[in-house]
Structure 1
Amino acid sequence: MTEEQLTKGLQAGDNLARKELYERLAGQMLSLCRRYVGQSDEAEDLLHDGFLQIFSQIGKFTWRGEGTLAAWVRRVMTNHVLSALEKEKRLATDDIDEVPDMGADDNDAPPDISTDVIMQLIAELPTGYRTVLNLFLVEGWSHAEIAEKLNIKESTSASQYLRAKKLLKDKILNYINLNDL
């Protein structure tokens, strides 16, 4: 089934189309959820609730070519996860302060560390740092988009991103030292 056919089926309320979309994208969307809440049952709950939201909002989607449905699903899921974090007061956007540029050095090449280890180290970051890092680096949002969504200043988003990179770098270096890599 092409993405265009899938979109038409979803918008017609076809349960087979819903199953197809879920099977195609559930793995990617679960990874997205885990980037924000870690390896937990909560990530799976967010995934399922997010797909319910996607199915209820599919009428708002306009197919504009191959890849647009997956991009729209990613955006809806990301917004769903952020809303859940805000609702639980785990995304303390009012506590995100501006911090000076810590001068993170982008020239340091990371050693061979598994993706699972990197994901675990990212999960250990404070929620605000982790959220900005994911939105900017992984989701490709601009600092202006992040600022609008999280109700913070654009400069705060940029500084939180730099702070998250610095803290993540420190965690990676600590991991390397502890594991003699």
Structure 2
Amino acid sequence: MYIFGTDKEKHIIKLFRRGDASAMDCLYSEYADYLTAVCARYIPDDDELKDVLQESFIKIFSKIEKFNYRGNGSLRAWITRIVINESLLCIRKKKNSPFINIEKEPPDIQDEDPEIGNLNEEVLTNMIRLLPDGYRTVFNLFVIEGKSHKEIAKILNIKADSSASQFYKAKKQLAKMIKDYRLKQE
């Protein structure tokens, strides 16, 4: 994260402030892989993911002059928030609600927490991408982003109980996927 003894984020911001043509390339090369991974947790379709990332980078580049650098990590946090917000916007734009009716029972799945143990990060990410939209969205916001069900409810315009239900169902479906994966590996 440090280049020539300085904070890379601060260096990137300085490039933008000076109007340096390399600023966009520098930011992109530093964060593209990370932001792709963030977006992939929410958007399972690769074409849609590319669209969301493109919109995110457009927003980042067009609003970076308003960004207020607050120390190491603040740029990464800011651009991550933009990608998450663009991902959620994409999910909301879909014609059908991504949230499964909570009146229905989830598929036949274990009543246990998923045991990830030494599961490869890429395998786990791919399993999360296979969850239905509502499950995946709530799971990411709760587990990865650390949001409460009340906060998730406000973000997604649903009830907190619906968020909790979606998380419960996501966790159970993920447990089944992990169990099935391990059985195939034996």
Q: TM-score range by the shorter chain?
A: 0.7 to 0.9
State the alpha-carbon separation in 2 of the partners of residues 14 and 90 from structure 1: 43
Q: In the alignment, which residue of structure 2 is the partner of 1:105? A: 112
Tell whether 2:61 aligns with 1:29.
no
Question: Tell me, what secondary structure is at the counterpart of 2:59?
Answer: helix
C-alpha RMSD of matched pairs (Å): 2.6
Pick from 141, 144, 149 the counterpart of residue 143 of structure 1. Answer: 149
Report how far residue 104 of structure 1 moved. 4.9
- Structure 1 length as normaliser, TM-score? 0.83
Indicate if the aligned counterparts of 1:136 and 1:142 stay in contact, CA closer than 8 A: yes
Pick from 127, 139, 161 the counterpart of residue 155 of structure 1. Answer: 161
Q: In the alignment, which residue of structure 1 is the partner of 2:13? A: 7
Report how far residue 152 of structure 1 moved. 1.0
Question: Tell me, what secondary structure is at the counterpart of 1:162?
Answer: helix
Q: In the alignment, which residue of structure 1 is the partner of 2:90? A: 84
Runs of 4+ residues over 6 Å off in structure 1: none
- Please list every run of 5 or more consecutive structure 1 residues that lacks an aligned counterpart in the other structure: none
- Please list every run of 5 or more consecutive structure 2 residues that lacks an aligned counterpart in the other structure: none
- Structure 2 length as normaliser, TM-score? 0.81
Calculate percent identity across the aligned residue pairs: 38
Q: 1:21 to 1:177 in 2, by over 3 A?
A: same
May I ask how many residue pairs the two structures share in their alignment?
A: 177
State the alpha-carbon separation in 2 of the partners of residues 145 and 62 from structure 1: 25
Counterpart amino acid of residue 61 in structure 2: F
Range with bigger deviation, 84-93 or 148-157: 84-93
Counterpart amino acid of residue 97 in structure 1: I
Pick from 40, 49, 69 the counterpart of residue 43 of structure 1. Answer: 49
Deviations for 1:135-164, whole angstroms, at most 9, x for unmatched residues?
Answer: 121222332322111101223212211211
Counterpart amino acid of residue 178 in structure 2: I
Report how far residue 8 of structure 1 moved. 3.8
Pick from 34, 55, 63 the counterpart of residue 57 of structure 1. Answer: 63
Question: Tell me, what secondary structure is at the counterpart of 2:131?
Answer: coil
State the alpha-carbon separation in 1 of the partners of residues 17 and 104 from structure 2: 45
Counterpart amino acid of residue 168 in structure 2: L
Q: 1:60 to 1:66 in 2, by over 3 A?
A: same
Q: 1:156 to 1:89 in 2, by over 3 A?
A: same
Q: 1:163 to 1:7 in 2, by over 3 A?
A: same
